[in-house]
Chains A and B, each alone.
Chain A
Amino acid sequence: MHIFVKNGLPAFSRFIPIYNWFYPLYNTSPPNIVESPIEFFGKIIIENIESRALYFHIPFCSSICTFCSFVRKKIENKYEVDQYVDALIKEINIKASFSNVCGVPVNAIFFGGGTPSILNPSQIIRLGKAIKDNFDLNNLREFSFEMSPLHIHDGEKLNAMKDVGVTHVRFGVQTFNRFFRKCFGLSASLNHIYTAAEILPKIFPYVSFDMLYGMNGQTDDEFFDDLEKAVELDIPNMAFYPINNLITQLCLHKSFEAHGRYPTSGLTKFYMNVTLNQFMRANGYLPHNGHEYVKVSVNEIEKKPVVTNTYSFKYHEHVYGYKQQEVIGFGTNAISALNRYVITNTDSIAKYTTNLLQNNQWDFSVGEHETVADECRGMILHLPYHGTIDKSRIAWDKLDEAIVRSFNNLLHYGFIKESIKSYQLTEHGWHWYVNLIYYLCPSNEQRLIDGYISQCNKIHERNIEDCDNY
């Protein structure tokens, strides 16, 4: 992929068909499978780590959505969820017994899935207590909990969430369009969604919902209809993700093909994102990161910032953050992104649960990377995703030379600009933020991403969009 100037407009030669990924992917040696946490967690160094986010994975759903690639299964009975929660609490207790795990202040908590709101009130309370008993939550700024609109009428559940300290509730809408809702296998009705939009802001300080765009054959009318209905919900926070055809289920691809709907090209998705930004600004919203919007004051709109700093999603500040911010994950397939290490829990729900309950241990793989990868995090992730980096938070003398060259190229072409204390995305840079992350990654990282895309492309039932830029 290279930068070229297209009739005066700098552009990248191709689009990247994935929109977020964990960095770094590259390990200095093949990942080791570790069975005993004692072998590993005692080694973590926490010097200079300012804050952490905790992630908890709840891999159960009442039905499986066809756009989802996360580790999840359809719930069979309450017992299996009880067992999983017991295992999760054991993992929390074991990890937190190490001072270098629990000794760093927690800034953000995120319950993701699956469908975290499938937990019953008692399970939510037990998990909340385990977290509170084991971690320093004095600096907690955000406790996010994903929920399905199907659970909106369960008052006890909502109270349990509030009791454990949930501040930010996120629910999935994805689309209002009946055809796409059917293709996605979404079980919540539009009435559930409208009720959630009405009730949740009365209970929780922050409410957000997710939308998808760029589905196969999505027309401009369908796209704008979704945007208009999204804004009509009058929720202050919302996220828009382009559909990722590399990870959606094959049955979704078949369904689209059967209806004569072909993948929306990378170029069109790019312009959908540009137009989405204009639409949201015209309706009083500004982006605060690569995917998410927040309702702001008229004054803030008139300032026309590329990205607003009036609101921040703290969990993503850690996932796409500086070297000094880490994430620790709990649960099946949960990822911990630490300095020097990326740790991935087993993706087998059964193995995770059984090993923890019977043996007080669980399988996880440890990938080790060079310290230079951590030094570059702010530049590679925070700048493209959040729109800015603070010069004082980057150790410029420790950066990889190739990355510095790429960075200077981006400055030259006007994707980023410099001010006294920071670098920021230009408007043009914001439109290209995914490509900027890829472009700034070291070549070994880019090769892994390319390899993954190539592998997905080989599955003939999977229709990936045209990613060339013309």
Chain B
Amino acid sequence: MSKTNELDGWKNFLKGRILQEQGNNEKALEYIDKALAINPNNAHYLNAKVFALQSLGRSDNAMAASIASKYEALAKKYVGKADKPGPWIEGLEEISANIDDFEEKAEEAIKVVW
């Protein structure tokens, strides 16, 4: 990802954040999704998506985004740390528990992050 693209992601994200603050979660989601299209693994963008979806009452989609965000955070924390299987497995088990509850949507989310 080029620096310009990465910055464009943040610019879209900030626009979304400010729209969220103004109470326009629907429009905010458009810009957060634009940011995610540039960097689908950005935990801040994913978090903002969860918040926007929750605010709009779309709990299933919010849970899917939440799972994606948690998976991304776990991967980032333990990437390259093959000597730490314990915490990695623990983290995955927690996410799996979420997946069981929202199987279909969550599978889509994990595919995106994977």
Chain A residues close to B by CB (< 8 Å):
6-9, 219-220, 223-224, 264-265, 267-268, 271-272, 274-275, 278-279, 281-282, 414, 470
Contacts and interface: CB of A to CB of B under 8 A. Distances in A.
Contacts of B6: 278, 282
Given A9-B47, A275-B13, A279-B7, 18 more contacts: A7-B46, A7-B50, A7-B65, A7-B69, A7-B73, A8-B70, A220-B15, A220-B18, A267-B21, A268-B18, A271-B13, A271-B44, A272-B14, A274-B10, A275-B14, A278-B6, A282-B7, A470-B51
B69 A8 contact: yes
Given A8-B69, A8-B70, A8-B74, A224 B47 contact: no
Given A9-B44, A268-B18, A282-B4, A275 B10 contact: yes
A272 B47 CA distance: 16
B10 A278 contact: yes
B36 to A, nearest CB: 14
Contacts of A9: 43-44, 47, 69, 73
B81 interface: no
6 contacts: A7-B50, A8-B70, A9-B44, A9-B47, A268-B18, A272-B14
A282 B13 CA distance: 16
Contacts of B74: 8
Interface residues of B, number: 27
Given A7-B73, A8-B74, A268-B18, A220 B51 contact: no
Of A7, A224, A279, most buried by chain B (CB within 10 Å of CB) is: A7
Interface string B66-95: 100111111001000000000000000000
Interface of B: 3-4, 6-7, 10-11, 13-15, 17-18, 21, 43-44, 46-47, 50-51, 65-66, 69-74, 77
A219 to B, nearest CB: 7
Contacts of A272: 14
A305 B19 CA distance: 31
A66 B4 CA distance: 36
Contacts of B7: 278-279, 282
> What's the dominant secondary structure at chain A's contact region?
helix
A236 B61 CA distance: 45
Contacts of B71: 8
B14 A271 contact: yes
A413 B50 CA distance: 21
Nearest to A223: B14
B21 A268 contact: yes
A297 to B, nearest CB: 15
A8 B77 CA distance: 10
A59 to B, nearest CB: 37
A470 B51 CA distance: 8
Contact of A265 (B21, B70, B72): B21
Contacts of A264: 21
Contacts of A6: 47
Given A271-B14, A272-B14, A282 B51 contact: no
Contacts of B17: 267-268, 271
A221 to B, nearest CB: 9
Contacts of A470: 51
